[in-house]
Amino acid sequence: MGFVETEAIVLRKYNLSDADKIVVVLTEKRGLVRGVANGAKRLKSKFASSLEFFSRIHIHYFEKEERELVSIRNTDLVESVFGKLSNPEFYDAFAEIADLLIRFTPPNEPNERLYNMTKHCLMAGASNEKYVKSVKVYFEIWLLKLGGFLPEWNECAVCSRSLTGDTATGMGLDFRLICSDCERPRVPVSYVIRDCYNFAQRTGPKKFAKRVDERETDISGLAGVIAKISDAVLERAPTAAGTYDGPEIDAA
């Protein structure tokens, strides 16, 4: 316990009082952290514009044992995506990413891989508006992978047959794939979906998005499958971010 200095990404802001805000950040050293920024709503606040949605910042805060909220003492802006927030597709995609992070990530548990993955997804999405949809799918795949929830799609779940390009497959109840020789596919999963799924696990978000864009690949099918897996995981597990029942979100 004591003072902590770390890099962080701003995920949410809640109005706390006439002058203060509760801020939710994903930090490099401490994982998901909630804190109070005293005076953040004042016109001449020391936090200035560093607490904008999905800004990357250096944050200094003080934490006490058994207290959910830390006291944010200072923030310094590293990188802002403020200019991108006017793009509805960018805003909506990263608002969903923020929501998934808050729901999946246990508070105060360091996870540098998750932080770095999120940071690189943010950079990739901000680099080209055409990449946003692909980056969101990539993020969801890796969020499941880092959480240990991602099923393997390299072989049939029943007969262990390797799934090659010409193999007809469908998704089972446990989200693993089953070849058509073992069972008639209920939810068909095409080779294109499998290929994108596996490629995302071998590369970074920008390379993934660039490949999708250059090949004009329709990833809506993959997006739908990953959303189903995410929903199923969240139904089985409690919300990781705690039970804070605060005021309306101010994420703008």
Asked whether residue 91 is domain-assigned, the answer is yes
Asked whether residue 243 is domain-assigned, the answer is no
Domain that holds residue 41: 2-80
Question: Greater confidence, 203 or 251?
Answer: 203
Asked whether residue 161 is domain-assigned, the answer is no
Do 246 and 157 meet the contact criterion of CB atoms below 8 Å apart?
no
* Pair (92, 46) in one structural domain: no
Report CA-CA distances (Å) from 15 to 33, 55, 186.
Answer: 16, 18, 46
For the beta sheet containing 169-171, the strands, ordered from the edge strand earlier in sequence to the opposite edge, are: 177-179, 169-171, 188-189
Quick: pLDDT tens for 17-45.
888 889 999 999 999 999 999 888 776 77
* Pair (131, 216) in one structural domain: yes
Do 61 and 71 meet the contact criterion of CB atoms below 8 Å apart?
yes
Do 151 and 176 meet the contact criterion of CB atoms below 8 Å apart?
yes
Do 21 and 47 meet the contact criterion of CB atoms below 8 Å apart?
no
Quick: pLDDT tens for 155-208.
999 999 999 888 889 998 889 999 999 988 778 899 999 999 999 999 999 999
With a pLDDT cut of 70, the percent of the chain lying above it is: 92
Asked whether residue 156 is domain-assigned, the answer is no
The region of weakest confidence among 53-57, 58-62, 111-115, 228-232 is: 228-232
For residue 30, what is the domain's CATH number?
A: 2.40.50.140
Q: Which residues pair with 13 in a beta bridge?
A: 23
Q: What is the pLDDT of residue 165?
A: 82
- Number of domains the chain is built from: 2
- Tokens 């979100």, residue located: 249
Confidence of residue 244 (pLDDT cuts 50, 70, 90): very low
* Pair (205, 109) in one structural domain: yes
What end-to-end distance do the CA atoms of the chain give, in Å?
A: 31
Asked whether residue 194 is domain-assigned, the answer is no
Cα separation, 252 vs 123, in Å, equals 19
Q: What is the pLDDT of residue 237?
A: 55
Quick: pLDDT tens for 218-232.
999 999 999 999 998
Asked whether residue 159 is domain-assigned, the answer is no
* Pair (75, 108) in one structural domain: no
Q: Which of 79, 83, 86, 149 is nearest to 119 (CA)?
A: 79
* Pair (91, 73) in one structural domain: no
- Tokens 């994982």, residue located: 31
Which string of b and e fits 128-138 if b means at least 16 CB within 10 Å? eeebbbbbbbb
* Pair (28, 125) in one structural domain: no
The total number of residues written for the chain in this structure: 252
